[in-house]
Structure 1
C-alpha cells in the first residue's frame, strides 16, 4: 500500500490579517487526494489601515510583519513543511513602499512574497475544492470578501464563466474610502453578468462569513438563507463594538469588520437574487495549497 503524506504551507498576507495555513496532503493509491488542515495561525496586522489611508505601510507594521514572517518560518520548520507559497493582496499591491517591504522580508527571513493582482487572487481562490458543493446544472456567484477587495467568480454548469475583482473591502469601508460610484459599478456588474441565469446561489468565503456561519449553529454544507443573513446584519448593527467583543466573543479585529463584510455579502445576494448562501470555509490560503500541489503534479506529468 503506497500512502504518501506531504506538508505544504500557505502564507496569505491580507489587508486585515496575515495567515499561515499548514496542510497535510495525503495521497493513497486509487483514492482521491486529501487536503487536511494541520495548523492555522492568524495574526491581526491590519496593513490596509496604513495603505488605504496614507498610501504606504508604516514602519511599525513593516516590523510586525517581519516578526510574523520569522515566526511563520520557524513554525514551518518545526512542522516539516517541504513547500510553501506566500501571497500578498491589495494592501501590499497598492502600498507605495510595498516592493521595499517585500525586499526587507526576503532579506531578513528568506521568505519570498508574491504580490498578486485581483485576477490572480480570484483564480487561486476558485482553484479550491468546490466540486463537492457545485452542482453542474446550477449557477453560483462565488464572493470572497477581504479587507481591501472583493473577488467575484461566476460558476455555471460546473465551469468558471467570469471573474472580477473590485476595490471594495472591509477595511476600506471602515475608513470611508468607498464611493457610491464604486458600489454602483459592483452592483451593475453583478446584475448584468447574472442576467442570463434564472436561479443563482451564493458561495461566500472569508473570515467574516465563516464566523457568521459558525454563529448560526448550522451543520457544515447547509446554506444560510438571505433572510437569516439580513437578520444577522440588523442584529450586529444594533450592538456596540464593545458588546460585539464581550457578548458575541468576537476578536477585537473581527468585531468591526464583520459589519461591512455582511453588507457586501447581503448586497451580492440581493443583486443576484440568491436566496441561499453556502459557506464552504475555504479561501485564498486553501487555494494556495491546491495551486502548489497541482503545479507539482503537472511538472511530474510533463517529465
Structure 2
C-alpha cells in the first residue's frame, strides 16, 4: 500500500469534532494495534516531541460500524517507511517528509484503504482538555507578570512583553481535564540569566498563588475572547493561540485545542509546590478551573 505523500489536513483547531474522511493507508504495528491514516481528521493527536495535550478519544466508523480509537499520535513517512510517535527520526516539518495523524485501533477493526469513514471526537473529553489548555496559557502569562520584578538582566519577553519565566524555565507541561501541571527548573542557568532564584525558593508560595490566581480571575471576569489562528489546514502549518486580554493581545504558538473565551473557564485556582529533582529545585504550578 502507498504511504501518503502530504500532511494530514486537520479540522480540530477550528473546534470540529466530526469529520468525513477517506482512509489512505492502514498499517499493523508491532504492539498489535493498527494505524489508520486518513486524508483529513477532526482528531487531535499527541505529539511525542512535546506531549503536553493528550489525544482526543472517540471513534472511527465505516458504514455505521464504529471502532474505538485507542490513541491518536503524530506519525511521519519518507515515502518508504512509516514512523509513529517517538520513533520519528526527524523534526516536524522536515522537507521531503509527510506528517500524519495516526488513529490507532484494535487489530480486529474492519477498516481498509479506500474506505470512507466518519471520525468523531468525544465532545466532553475535548471540552475538558480545551479548558485545561486555555487555562494553562492564562496561568503562565499571569505567573510571568507576578515574577516580573525578580529579573536583574534583560530577558526574552512573553506575549505581553514581560520577562518570559515560563518559556525560559519550563521543564514540562501536562494538560489535564480542567487544568494543567507545569514544572520549572530553578537551576544555575536561570540564575545566570538574571532571575532571582533564591528569593523564589524562600517565597511564601501561597502568596504567589494568590497573586497569580487573582490575575487569572480578573481575565476570566473580563470574558476575554480566545481563538486559534492558522497558517493553513495541514498538521504542520503554524497555529497560534490568540487571547484579547485586558493587558493587551497575547499570541502564543500552540498546536492544541482551546475554548472560545476565558469566560468559559469558570472558577480558577492556581497552586504551587517546590519539589526536588536530583538536587535541583523545581517549581510546580497546578492550575484548575471548573468550566
TM-score over 0.5 for the pair: no
The normalised TM-score by structure 1 is 0.24
TM-score, length basis structure 2: 0.25
Structure with more of its chain in helix, by fraction: 1
